[in-house]
Amino acid sequence: MEERILMKGNEALAEAAIQAGCIRFFGYPITPQTEVAAYMSKRLPKIGGTYLQAESEVAAVNMLQGAGAAGARAMTSSSSPGISLKTEGISYMAGADIPGLIINVQRGGPGLGGIQPSQADYWQATKAPGHGDLHIIVFAPSSVQEMVDLVENAFDLSDEYRIPAMILADGLLGQMMEPVTIKKSEGGKKLPEKKWAAKGHGHKRAHNIINSLYLKAADLERVINERFERYKELEVKHTRCERYMTDDADVVVVAYGATGRIAKAAVKAAREQGVKAGLFRPITLWPFPKQDLKDIAKSAKAFLTVEMSMGQMVDDVKLAIDCKRPVDFFGHTGGIVPTPQEVLDKILKLAGGER
């Protein structure tokens, strides 16, 4: 049994990536994720890895693209404004079927915004992580331990499907310390060979070509259709969520990430007052766990989405349940973290029939 240690979210995430076999990291500092890069800069040179501080976020994501194309398990990390810069590279990776992990420790936006925790990049992560017809796999941990556990999962799925993956965290998760257990892999994790990778082969096989440019429309349509088959399979096989007391709940709170745990406190408090509240916490934001939510809508009377944004997930909740129940919203934006009491007050209002 590994020791339970106290670790900062950003550092735990970095160590988890190393244990998952990622020894190539390309970064650029930005609050509140800088500790990811700082940790990697200390650890990777000692274990024969590559830590590279790029000249910009754009350069870092293109290094990720290159390392991924060569078959390496690689990662980049940033926070909201930096992720906007990376979207070009993410689109190219998606278009060339290059796996890789992108970390977004969100802060308030738009623009330079602020540096406090936020979830205002939900739309960006789930709807338009870059131009073109594309999706990336998006995970939203709600504790430092879950962040650690999801890192390996994200890498494995990204490799298996050749689709870039993202961990969508926030400043709260990145900056806080919590007890965490990190599975150690002695001598580094053994990764399956990537036969498609573009790396030296001494003329022993045909060239592997990795490219996102298709000038013939019919060719581009064909590769996109093929890619969407993989998206479809992900939607069927790889959605994840946590359901807490939803079976008999009248009011179901839907919240992810750090907000998910705050909402849980409110749900517990509501139950103590005899109000039948429950929590639905999506762990994958794309693919969104639609079916699970749809099942809950059979018995729930109302939904309440809680986010650190102006309500970016609300539409996904409405679509998942075919608008069969009212979906209300409560949140703060700009870096303000909702309190359990505020969420509880809203739950009590909804339970009392007020909207």
Partner 1 sequence: MGDLNSILAGFGGQGILFMGKVIATAGLLEGKEVSWLPSYGPEMRGGTANCSVCISSGDICSPLVTSPNVLIAMNLPSFTKFIDTVVPGGTVIVDSTLISKKVERNDVNVCYIPASALAEQSGLKGLANIILIGKLLELTGFCEYLSIKKTIEKVVPPKKQHLIQKNMEAIDIGYNYKG
Chain contacts with partner 1 (rule: CB under 8 A):
4-6, 31-32, 115-116, 171-172, 175-179, 261-262, 264-265, 268, 337, 339-341
User: Up-side HSE of residue 98: CA atoms within 13 Å toward CB?
Assistant: 31
* Residue 262 Cβ vs partner 1, minimum distance, rounded to whole Å: 5
Q: CB of 18: closest distance to partner 1 in angstroms? A: 22
Q: Are strands 241-244 and 277-282 parallel, antiparallel or unpaired?
A: antiparallel
Please say which residue, 126 or 145, places its beta carbon nearer to partner 1: 145
Shortest distance, position 25 Cβ to partner 1, whole Å: 22
CB of 319 to partner 1, least distance (A): 28
150, 283 contact by CB (below 8 A): yes
User: Which residue lies nearer to partner 1 by CB, 266 or 351?
Assistant: 266
∠ at Cα 264 (263, 268), nearest 5°? 120
In whole angstroms, what is the distance from residue 175 CA to residue 35 CA? 9
Q: For residue 44, give the DSSP letter.
A: G
Task: Give the shortest CB-310-to-partner 1 separation in angstroms.
Answer: 20
Closest to partner 1 by CB, 5 vs 310, is 5
Residue 98, C-beta contacts closer than 8 angstroms, at least 6 positions apart: 65, 68, 69, 92, 162, 164, 210
Shortest separation between residue 271's beta carbon and partner 1, angstroms: 13
| Distance in angstroms (rounded) separating the CA atoms of residues 10 and 44 | 15
Closest CB to partner 1 among 158 and 175? 175
Q: Which is nearer to partner 1, 242 or 315 (CB)?
A: 242
Write down the H helix ranges in the chain.
9-19, 34-43, 57-69, 80-95, 122-126, 144-161, 171-175, 217-237, 257-272, 290-297, 314-320, 340-351
Question: What does the alpha-carbon distance between residue 201 and residue 188 come to, in Å, rounded to a whole number?
Answer: 24
Tokens of 178: 């919590």
Which residue, 115 or 220, is less far from partner 1 as judged by CB? Answer: 115
Nearer to partner 1, 74 or 347 (CB): 347
Q: How far is the CB of 355 from partner 1 (least distance, A)?
A: 26
SS3 251: strand
